[in-house]
Amino acid sequence: MRCLPLLLIIAFVFFVAAEMAEGKIEFLTRCPKCSADNPKEADGSYKDLCTKCRYSLAVYPEDKGPDKVDTASFPAEMQESYKLFAARCSKCHTLARPINTRKSAAEWKTYVIKMVRKPGSGITLDVGLKVLQFLEYTQKQKK
């Protein structure tokens, strides 16, 4: 039990480091989609969605990864679903964001359904289901 204070200190240091990493979100100062400016607010913060076209202006680490998937070896059906995914899931952020995000099948389902329901997402249930199958398929390929 003598090491308990040390453990607490280590836990605290990790907690602070995680908080700091989280606070380091970058924001784009100009919308890459419609070119509207994203000026710094009086309190030093930035908007995370473009006020004009609602594009996501927060930069995720995943946005900086590869932005395409080589589907040459995929079954024809998955190649078709990739096209839907690439067209629909790049409307409000980079395609790299979903490509480089790992989620469980259940989490993807929740997210895609959320997008299907979002007004203006342009994703129908039919397309959403195909995207979901594609995400599950590629994630299995990566394992």
Residues in contact with ligand HEC by the rule CB under 6 A: 49, 56, 88-89, 91-93, 97-98, 101, 111-112, 115, 118, 120-121, 123, 131
Distance between CA atoms of residues 4 and 7, nearest Å: 5
| Contact residues for 133 (Cβ-Cβ < 8 A; gap 6+) | 78, 81
Which is nearer to ligand HEC, 9 or 52 (by Cβ)? 52
Which is nearer to ligand HEC, 54 or 79 (by Cβ)? 54
Which is nearer to ligand HEC, 28 or 89 (by Cβ)? 89
| Contact residues for 89 (Cβ-Cβ < 8 A; gap 6+) | 95, 98, 115, 131
Which is nearer to ligand HEC, 11 or 107 (by Cβ)? 107
Nearest approach, Cβ of residue 36 and ligand HEC (Å):
15
Nearest approach, Cβ of residue 106 and ligand HEC (Å):
13
Nearest approach, Cβ of residue 69 and ligand HEC (Å):
12
Instruction: Please give the distance of CA 49 from its chain centroid, rounded to a whole number.
Output: 13
Radius of gyration of the chain (CA): 19
Nearest approach, Cβ of residue 22 and ligand HEC (Å):
13
The strand ranges marked E within 2-107 are 26-27, 58-59
